[in-house]
Amino acid sequence: MNLFAYTIIAGVMYGIFFGLVGLGLNIVFGVLKMINLAHGDFIMLGSFLAYWLYTLLGVNPLLVIPIAVATFFLVGFPLYYAFVPRLLRSKDPEMLSFILFFGASQVIEAVIIFAFGNNQRSIPSDVFGSSGFVIFGQRFPIAWLITTLVALAAFGFVYWYLRHTRMGYATRAVMANRDEAMLSGIDVNRISAFVFCMGLALAAIAGVFSFFIIGSSSPSMGPELTTVSFAIIVLGSLGNPLGTILGGLIYGVAVMFMQSYFSSWADILPYVLLIAVMLIRPEGLVGKAARSA
Amino acid sequence: MLKKIFPSLGVVLVVVAMFLGLPSIYSNQSFLFNLMLYLALAEGLNIIYGFTGYLPFGYVGFFGAGAYGSAIAVTLLHISPLWGVLWGGVAAVLIGIILIPLLRLSGAYFAIANLAASQALYYVVSNPALEKITQGPYGIDLSSVYNANAAYYALLGVLVFAMVLVAFIRNSDFGLCLLAIKEDRVTASLAGVNIVRARSIAWMLSAFVAGLCGAVFGWYSAVFYPSTVFSLDVSVFTIVFVLFGGIGTLAGPLAGALILYSMYNFIGISTPQYFQLFYGLLIIALVLFLPDGIASILRKGKVYVP
Amino acid sequence: MSHNGKRLLKVEGLVKKFGGFRALNGVSIDVCEKRIVGLAGPNGSGKTTLINVISGVYKPDGGSVEFDGKSIYRSPSHKIVHSGVNRTFQIPRPLAGLTVWDNVRLAAVYGCCEADKREIIRKALEIVQLDGLKDFISGGLTFAQQKLLGLATALATRPRLLLVDEIAAGLSHQELDWIAQMLLRISQTGVAMIVVEHHLGFIDTLTSDVVVMNAGANLFRGSIHEAAQNEEVVEVFLGR
C-alpha cells in the first residue's frame, strides 16, 4: 500500500513536470502546425545554461528562469525569421520543417558537445536545501515540490496568456485558422514569432529543472526528450496547449507504475503509448485528427 | 522504356566493378564494407521514402531486426550464416508487417511513430528479461561463424539486389503507381490503384533490404550489441545520404552515400561531432535551397538521372 | 421518369455528415444503362458531395449505393473503379509531376482489365484530343486541358458509368459546345453518365432527364422544361 501511494503521488509530480516538457512543443505546433524536432535539444540547452550558471557563478536554478526566458527570446526571434516564413511558403511545410528542425537538433547537439564534452552533468538536488516534505505519509525531496510548482506556474501563465490577454486572443485565432486570422488583420507573423520564442523558453525552463526529476543532463538527450514530449502532446491532444498537462499526468503515473511494478519494461512505455494513441485515437484525448486515408 | 534501362544497368555495373576491384587496391576492407552497407541502406530507404514519401525515421528498426533475426537463427537453429542473412530479411519483413498500420499516419506523424517503433523494438531486444533469446543488453557473439570475406561478398549481393530493385521500380508500372500515391492519393485510387496494398508492398520491400543489411552487418561484426544495431545514427545517416543525393532515383542515393560516407570516414570517425555539425548544417541548407538533392541540379540541366 | 433499359446505378436515402452538418440528407438517384442524367441544384445543395460519395472519395453515413446489382456502399475507390464507375473533378487534380501519357497509363494499367494498354491510352487521349500533348508534364497544362486529362484518365479505366462534375465551369461558349459533343459521343459508346452542372443550358443539350437537388435531398426529376415551370425549383434557383 505504501508503494502504491508513493507511486501515485510521485507519478502526479513527475507527470506535471513532463507536462511542462511537452508544453513548448505543443504551443509551437498549435500555432505553426510544425513539429519542432529540436525541442528536446532546447530543453537540453536550458539544462546546460542552468548547469553552467550554477557551477560557475553559483546561480540558484530559480533565478535561471528569467535569464533563460530572456536568452531564448533573444535567440528565438532571429531563428524564427531565418527559417519559418520560408518554410511556411514551401510546397510541403510539414515535412520540410520536420527535416529542417532535425538538422537544427544535430547542430545544437554537436555544438554543445564541443563546448562541454559528451558527459553527463548534474546540479546537486540539495540546492534548495536538504529538507524533505511529506504528502500522505510519503517523503519527497524539496526539489520535487519546487519543480512541480514551477511547472504549474508555467501552465498557469500559458492559461492566463491565452485566455486573458489581447495577444493570447489573437494567438488562439491563429491556432484555429491561420489564413482567416491573417484576413481579419492579425499580424500572424509577429504572433507566431512570439509563440515560437515562448515555446523555446518553456522548453528551456523544463531543462533547468530536468536535473531534479531526470537526474542528469547530457548533450545527446535531445532526441529522446523530443519523442517523449511528442508522446505526451499526442496523448493530451495536438495543438491544445492546456491538454498537455493531461498527457503529462497520464505519462507520469504510467511511468511510475511501470517502474514500481514492472521495472524492466518501463523504458518501452512512452513509445508504446505514442504508437497506440496515434493509431487508436490520433486526435488525442480531447482534440483534432492527424491521420489520413 | 529500354532506353531508360541501360543507364540504370550501367550504374549497377560500375558499382559492382568498384567493390570487386577496390579491395585489391585499397586495404581498408572495413571502410569498404560500411560504405557498401550505407549504399544498400540508402537504396532500401529510397524505396519507401523516394517513391511513396513516407519518411521512416525508425528505419534502423529493420536493420536491428535483421541483425538479431539472423543471429538468433544462426546461434539457436544452427543454420549457415549465408542462409541466416535471408532469415534476417524475413525477420525485418515480419516487423514491417506488424508496423503496416503506421502507414495510415501521414507525414511527420508517420516519421515519429516509426521512430518510436524502432525505439520500442530496441528496448524489447535489449531487455534482460529476454536474455535467453536475445542475450539482452549483453550482445550477440557470432565469432564461431566469422568470415569477413564471405560477409563482404554477401553484402555486395545485397547491394546489387537493392539497386536492381530500385531500378526495376523506377522503370515499372509499380513505380508509377507509387509515385502517383505520393502525389495524390485520391487521383491514384480513382485510377484503380489499391493504395493500401501498393504502399504495404513498398514498405515490406524496404524493410527486407534493411533486414538483409543488418544480417550481413552482424555476420561481419561477429560481436554486436543492441545499442549498435538499433543506433538512431543508422536511420539518420541513411536519411541524410538519400536526401543529399536525391530521392526517387537510382543514382542519387548512391552518390549521396558515397560522397558523405567517405567524408564521414575522413573527418568524422575520431570526433563524430565534426561530422554531426556538418550534416546538421547540410540538412538545413538542403531543405532551404535544394530540397530534391544534388540529382535535381543535373535534372535542371536536362540530364537524365537514372 | 424514363426507365428504358437496365438500371445500372441505384442510390437510395444516401446520408453524408460533416460533423453536425448533413451534406447529403437522404438523396436518391438512379441511372439506366447508356443514359445521361443531368444533376442540377444551387451551390451547396450536395451535388459534388454525392459524386464524391458514389465514387468512394467520401464514406457515406447511411443509405445504400448499388451498381449493377452489387452494393458499392463504403467500398474503397479502387474497387468502385474496378466495378465500372469513374468520375472527373470540378477542379482537376492531375498527377502534376507526371506526363500526360503516364497519367493515363496509370489508369489503363490499374483501372482496366483489357490487355492492350497502349491502345486504351491512345484512344482515351484521342477522344479528348490531347494526343498531341502526350509527353507534356501535366502540371504545365492549362486548366481546361487538365480537365480533359481528367476525363481521359477516367475513360482509360473503361467505365460503364461516368460521373462528370461541372466540366463546363470556366470554359468559353465554343468550348462548351465542343465538350457537349464529346460527352454525347462518349455516351454513344455505351457509357452512362451523371452530369453535374450549374449551367442548365449545357444539360439541356445532353439530356432531357434532370434531377434537381436541394439541401442534400431530391427536389425534382423530369425534363428541363418541366423544371422551369416547377415553382419549388424556380424558388431554390432564384432564391426567395
ipTM for the complex? Answer: 0.90
C86 Cβ under 8 Å from any chain B Cβ: yes
Radius of gyration, CA atoms only, chain A: 19
Of the candidates A232, A196, A242, the one whose C-alpha atom is nearest the C-alpha of residue A81 is A196
Is residue A289 very low, low, confident or very high in pLDDT (cuts 50, 70, 90)?
very low
**Residue to test with chain B: of C78, C113, C149, most B Cβ within 10 A:** C78
pLDDT at B165 over 90: yes
Is residue A285 very low, low, confident or very high in pLDDT (cuts 50, 70, 90)?
low
**A30 close to A175: Cβ distance less than 8 angstroms:** yes
Average pLDDT over residues A282-293: 50
Q: How far is C64 from chain B (nearest CA, A)?
A: 20
pLDDT at position A205 = 96
Residue A130 DSSP one-character state: S
Q: How many CA atoms lie within 13 A of C127 on its CB side?
A: 26
Is residue A286 very low, low, confident or very high in pLDDT (cuts 50, 70, 90)?
low
Mean model confidence pLDDT for chain A: 88
Alpha helices in A165-187 (DSSP H): 166-176, 178-183
As a whole-number percent, the residues of chain C with pLDDT over 90 amount to 64
pLDDT at B239 over 60: yes
CA-based torsion, B166, B170, B173, B176: positive or negative:
positive
Angle between helices A188-214 and A39-57 (to 10 degrees): 60
Q: Please tell me the distance from the alpha carbon of residue B275 to that of residue B267, in angstroms, as a whole number.
A: 6
Q: Please tell me the distance from the alpha carbon of residue A48 to that of residue A41, in angstroms, as a whole number.
A: 10
B-chain residues near A99 (CB < 8 A): 55, 243, 283, 286-287
Residue A288 vs residues A196, A241, A285, B16, C61: alpha-carbon distances, Å: 21, 13, 9, 50, 20
In a domain, A279, yes or no: yes
Average pLDDT over residues B176-190: 94
pLDDT at B2 over 60: no
Q: Which domains does chain B have, with CATH numbers?
A: 2-300 (1.10.3470)
Kindly report the number of other CB atoms within 10 A of residue A137's CB atom.
10
Cell readout for A227 is 519523442
Q: Please tell me the distance from the alpha carbon of residue B198 to that of residue B175, in angstroms, as a whole number.
A: 10
Q: How far is B108 from chain A (nearest CA, A)?
A: 6
Mean model confidence pLDDT for chain B: 92
| pLDDT tens digits, one per residue of A192-246 | 999 999 999 999 999 999 998 888 899 989 988 998 999 899 888 888 888 899 9
In a domain, A2, yes or no: no
Q: Please tell me the distance from the alpha carbon of residue A278 to that of residue A291, in angstroms, as a whole number.
A: 8
pLDDT at B298 over 90: no
Which CATH number covers residue A172? Answer: 1.10.3470
Is residue A22 very low, low, confident or very high in pLDDT (cuts 50, 70, 90)?
very high
Average pLDDT over residues B100-108: 89
* Total domains, chain A: 1
Query: Which of A94, A223, A270 has its CB closest to that of B107?
Result: A94
Residue B76 vs residues B134, B135, B211, B213: alpha-carbon distances, Å: 10, 12, 18, 20
State the residue for C-alpha cell 524496404: B206
In a domain, A1, yes or no: no
**B224 close to B140: Cβ distance less than 8 angstroms:** yes
Of the candidates C116, C201, C118, C185, the one whose C-alpha atom is nearest the C-alpha of residue C151 is C185
Residues in chain A: 293
Residue A291 DSSP one-character state: B
In a domain, A49, yes or no: yes
**CB contact (8 A) between residue A95 and residue B107:** yes
Query: Which of B108, B279, B283 has its CB closest to that of A35?
Result: B108
**Minimum mean pLDDT range among A14-23, A69-78, A133-142:** A133-142
Of the candidates A11, A14, A7, the one whose C-alpha atom is nearest the C-alpha of residue A148 is A14
Residues in chain C: 240
Query: Could you list the residue range(s) of the whole structural domain that residue A56 is in?
Result: 7-292
As to burial, measured by CB atoms within 10 angstroms (0-12 exposed, 13-18 middle, 19+ buried), residue B259 is: middle
C88 Cβ under 8 Å from any chain B Cβ: no
Residues in chain B: 306
Q: Please tell me the distance from the alpha carbon of residue C175 to that of residue B186, in angstroms, as a whole number.
A: 27
pLDDT at A76 over 90: yes
> Could you please report the per-residue DSSP string of chain C?
----S-EEEEEEEEEEEETTEEEEEEEEEEEETT-EEEEE--TTSSHHHHHHHHTTSS--SEEEEEETTEE-TT--HHHHHHHTEEE--SS----TTSBHHHHHHHHHHHH---S-HHHHHHHHHHHTT-GGGTTSBGGGS-HHHHHHHHHHHHHTT--SEEEEESTTTT--HHHHHHHHHHHHHHHHTT-EEEEE-S-HHHHHHH-S-EEEEETTEEEEEE-HHHHHH-HHHHHHHH--
Cell readout for B111 is 516519421
A265 Cβ under 8 Å from any chain B Cβ: yes
- Give CA angle at A99 (A94, A102), nearest 5°: 125
Of the candidates A291, A290, A292, A20, the one whose C-alpha atom is nearest the C-alpha of residue A154 is A20
pLDDT at position B3 = 66
Residue A287 DSSP one-character state: S
H or E, element range at B89: helix B81-98
SS3 content of chain A, % helix, strand, coil (to 5): 80, 5, 15
**Positions in chain C whose pLDDT score sits under 50:** 1-2
Question: How many residue pairs bridge chain A and chain B with CB atoms within 8 Å of each other?
Answer: 128
B/e letters for C208-217, b = 16+ CB within 10 Å, e = fewer, are ebbbbbbbbb
Cell readout for A187 is 499580424
pLDDT at A293 over 60: no
Instruction: Kindly give, in sequence order, each residue whose CB lies less than 8 Å from that of residue B225, ignoring residues fewer than 6 positions away.
Output: B137, B138, B139, B140
In a domain, A76, yes or no: yes
